Amino acid sequence: MDTEKPESGAATVIIGHKVFPGLEREYEAWQEGVNAAAAGYPGHLGAEISPPTALQPDWVVVYRFDSVAHLQAWLNSATRQNLLDLAREYFDGPATQQYISGGTQPADPLVTVVVTHRVHPSSVDDFLDWQRRMSLEESRFEGFRGTEVFRPIEGLQDEWTTLYRFDNAAHLDAWLTSDRRQEVLAEGRRFSDFKLRTIDNSFGSWFAFEENGREVPPPSETKTAVAVWVGLYPTVVLLTLALHPLGMPLWLGLLVGNLLSSFIMSFVTMPYYVNKLLRRWLRPDPDEARGRTNMIGLGIVAAAMVLWAAFFYVITTQIWTLP
């Protein structure tokens, strides 16, 4: 179980927007433009946008900067305020914002709950004791992966922020709806004024990197799809060639092949081939120009796929012809 974290350099803000139905596409295009503008500000480490899910009804945007000061400079900038003025019609109510200074980013595809509490300065010790009891009870539930508690950030946020992590949504829901959680909440009635947001980080374990202390968000959905394609093509073709001599009927061959490809993709292809091949494209250094990084990354993708296609062409037409 994690304990309270001291503040470190990196600073993160999690922003939630409720968007009017029918305006989702316009909002997403606008938000991509905002994220591009943020990338031009000092200290920018990354930005991510996630659409609503069954766990989270709002659009969620995460900005990460190398310091609180640089994060504040972006949030308070005239550039961002002007962009917000252009998008007033998209939003069904004000945005919600939660800030984190420091912290760790898990390498697993965890589901995270972000909870903020307003705590009177005279009650800080009692609040931390209550949080420890909450974390102790939480750790007894299946799927629990850790808790982090963050102090308020002067000039940005008065609330304390707590992150609870579980391995999947079902285990998280079991904790959130449990009688034991309700009992612990009742023990801390004076801290009952809180806000809760759930964030689901998909494909996390397929894109786990050592970042030397520099935390960056997961790759975009487009990069994820392309990266999976780079790994899936050789995996499926090699499995097809390997299973063909067994003479299984189509329905059984696909059943077995899909099962094997899932394991091979998760434990071999993605971590040892794709992540290493496309590392600088999937998780670029914040100081690198985005256009140059994308050109190099897409060039590597094209070269890899041409080589695989040529290799399999020779194998299946010149060396071994499948019936």
How many Å apart are CA 154 and CA 133, to the nearest integer? Answer: 27
Residue 304: give the domain boundaries: 221-319
Question: What is the number of domains present in the chain?
Answer: 2
Of 11-15, 119-123, 213-217, 250-254, the least confident: 213-217
Residue 315 domain-assigned (yes or no): yes
Evaluate whether residue 216 is within a structural domain. Answer: no
Is the pLDDT at 159 greater than 60, yes or no? yes
Assigned domain for 215 exists = no
Q: What is the pLDDT of residues 193-238, one digit of tens each?
A: 676 666 655 444 444 444 433 344 556 778 888 988 999 999 999 9
Residues 78, 199, single domain; the answer is yes
Query: Average of pLDDT values for 128-141?
Result: 86
pLDDT digits (tens, 9 = 90+) for 253-309: 889 988 898 889 877 888 789 888 998 888 776 566 778 888 999 999 999 999 999
Measured CA angle at 241 (ends 257, 208), to 5 deg:
55
- Among 101-105, 286-290, 313-317, top mean pLDDT goes to 313-317
304 vs 105, higher pLDDT: 304
For residue 235, the model assigns a pLDDT of 93
Structural domain contains residue 254? yes
* Cβ(271)–Cβ(284) below 8 Å: no
Give the pLDDT of residue 6: 39
pLDDT of residue 301: 95
- Same domain for 289 and 226: yes
Alpha carbon distance 281, 300 (integer Å): 9
Same domain, yes or no: 253 and 158:
no
Beta-sheet pairing, 96-101 with 11-17 = antiparallel
What pTM value is reported for the model?
0.47
Q: What is the pLDDT of residue 215?
A: 41
Spatial contact of 72 and 156, defined as CB atoms under 8 Å apart: yes
Q: Is residue 238 part of a domain?
A: yes
Same domain (yes/no): 137, 82 = yes
Judge contact between 109 and 201, C-beta under 8 A: yes
